[in-house]
Amino acid sequence: MTALSVNVNKIAVLRNSRGGAEPSVARAALCAIQAGAQGITVHPRPDQRHITPGDVDTLAQLCRQQGVEYNIEGNPFAPAHGDYPGLMALIERSRPTQATLVPDSDAQLTSDHGFDLVRDGGQLRPYLEQLREWGVRISIFMDAGTADLEIAKSLGVDRIEIYTGPFAEAFAEGDAGVALALCRQTAMQAQALGIGVNAGHDLSQANLAAFLAAVPNVLEVSIGHALVGEALYAGLDSTIRAYLAICRT
């Protein structure tokens, strides 16, 4: 069964749009866990547009108490900025189950491409060594069809997360065959090298079943934007359970 990690960034967006503490990120995460989600994902950014360092700490404690995985995404190269201490500092103090490294810039609205390890592999290496010392599982965000999996293997990453945005866009347009084939090829190549495979970005109830049917042995999907949007109509508990049903098929 593919594990579901619920990204709670959008709950924080709603809270921050008004100020104060509601809706509660921690309460939403607990609701997801009680509905059966196997993990919680956050992607703190230097501008704190959604998840704050305080949220990172609160959710770390919650996930430990509830016995679920905690996944922190972000760019290790981004420096500290104001109250944001930097991704590695957040990881050091919260010790998540997994760190998913993503090459996004401060100006990006959302993640939209994977790492180029030919260019960035050498710079990443000391960060990966530090994560291993902390006992944090390492995942790297990568494009479907990447030619850099051998480099990922040499860097000692535990998993890759396949960027599924292009697949979701093709699916919505009614012709996902090529995009799915690239995802499948990348997953199988990674698995042959002993690298686990996660997936995420723009996955939804509409396209998740097709993705999991085509791409073998996906260990975890991280879903937030579509899930929170769907939960506005169906409720968070029901929406989580619907995703879990898809992950079990």
Catalytic residues: 43, 73, 201
pLDDT in tens, 98-113: 999 999 766 655 656 7
Relative orientation angle of helices 225-234 and 236-248, to the nearest 10 degrees: 120
Of 85-99, 108-122, 166-180, the one with minimum mean pLDDT is 108-122
Can you give the pLDDT at residue 105? 60
pTM across the whole model: 0.95
**One-letter amino acid for residue 90 of the chain:** L
- At 146, which CATH number? 3.20.20.70
**Using 50, 70 and 90 to split pLDDT, how confident is the model at 114?**
confident
- As a three-state string, the secondary structure of the chain is CCEEEEECHHHHHHHHHHCCCCCCHHHHHHHHHHHCCCEEEECCCCCCCCCCHHHHHHHHHHHHHHCCEEEEEECCCCCCECCECCHHHHHHHHCCCEEEECCCCCCCCCCCCCCCHHHHHHHHHHHHHHHHHCCCEEEEEEECCCCCHHHHHHHCCCEEEEECHHHHHHHHCCCCHHHHHHHHHHHHHHHHCCCEEEEECCCCCCCHHHHHHHCCCCCEEEECHHHHHHHHHHCHHHHHHHHHHHHHC
Terminal Cα-to-Cα distance of the chain (whole angstroms): 8
**Structural domains of the chain, count:** 1
Question: Residue 78's pLDDT band (boundaries 50, 70, 90)?
Answer: confident
Whether pLDDT at 225 is above 60: yes
Pairing state of beta strands 39-42 and 98-101? unpaired
pLDDT at 109: 53
pLDDT in tens, 11-50: 999 999 998 999 999 999 999 999 999 999 999 998 888 9
Binned at pLDDT 50, 70 and 90, residue 249 comes out as confident
pLDDT digits (tens, 9 = 90+) for 227-245: 999 999 999 999 999 999 9
- At 116-128, the pLDDT tens digits run 999 999 999 999 9
Q: Give the type of residue at 114.
A: G
The tens digit of pLDDT for each residue in 181-213 reads: 999 999 999 999 999 999 999 999 999 999 999
% of the chain residues with pLDDT over 70: 97
Provide the pLDDT for residue 68.
98
- Percentage of residues in the chain with pLDDT exceeding 90? 90
Q: What's the domain range around 29?
A: 3-248
